[in-house]
Amino acid sequence: MEPKKLLVGITGFGSTERRESGLENLLWKITMEGDGAMVARFNWNDSQRMIVRWIERAAGTWPGVQVSMIGHSYGCSTLASVIDAMPGIGIDNVFLIDPVWRPYKRLPSFASLWGRGTITISHRAAKIWHWYQTKGLIRGCTVVRSKTSALKAYAELHRPHATLDSHPVIHSATLKEIQSDGRD
């Protein structure tokens, strides 16, 4: 069966292959309930070139597939770079969970703490969803959209950074959007 939608998840700094994360659980929910949606999971420090190659392969194999991306923490910085590296592929949804900017592509940095920095999401993303928290040392940075500042959703949720990707509001909204036909 040809997938209609592809959701690419990019985890945050604390999420590794050794530890289950909220984002991983969400991707599993979408696999089980997403009406033919296909998912892929990458870590924040995986090769950008490999992620791009994987998405381009999926879009080339299934030209009608709607591509969406979700990231948590450092995964949002990686997500923004991946989108920029794929000018020929439209992005249906971008879901950002407490995005943390980092000045170096593959390394963590103290410069990204306390909500410093800005992540710019390409105007080629049709919808941008953004959830953040302001409780701890690690917190989401500013998010802007190139050529415009319009975001689909922008909501503060009260949960620590490390577990924000498990928030039921995020899981519900993402699953609903992936299951939708794309019309508002």
145 Cβ partners below 8 Å, 6+ apart?
A: 120, 121, 122, 123, 125, 128, 151
Residue 77 and residue 12: Cα distance in Å, rounded? 10
- The domain of 139 spans 5-179
| 184 within domain boundaries | no
Q: What is the pLDDT of residue 139?
A: 76
Q: What is the pLDDT of residue 55?
A: 97
Residue 4 and residue 65: Cα distance in Å, rounded? 5
| 117 within domain boundaries | yes
pLDDT digits (tens, 9 = 90+) for 134-148: 777 787 777 877 765
pLDDT digits (tens, 9 = 90+) for 59-69: 999 999 999 99
Number of domains in the chain: 1
| 65 within domain boundaries | yes
| 99 within domain boundaries | yes
pTM for this predicted structure: 0.89
Q: What is the pLDDT of residue 149?
A: 46
| 14 within domain boundaries | yes
Q: What is the pLDDT of residue 148?
A: 57
Q: Are 165 and 157 in contact (CB under 8 A)?
A: no
Q: What is the pLDDT of residue 81?
A: 93
| 54 within domain boundaries | yes
CATH code for the domain of 9: 3.40.50.1820
| 50 within domain boundaries | yes
**Residue ranges of the chain whose pLDDT lies below 70:** 16-18, 104-112, 147-154, 182-184
| 172 within domain boundaries | yes
Using alpha carbons, select from 26, 16, 57 the residue that is nearest to residue 164. 26
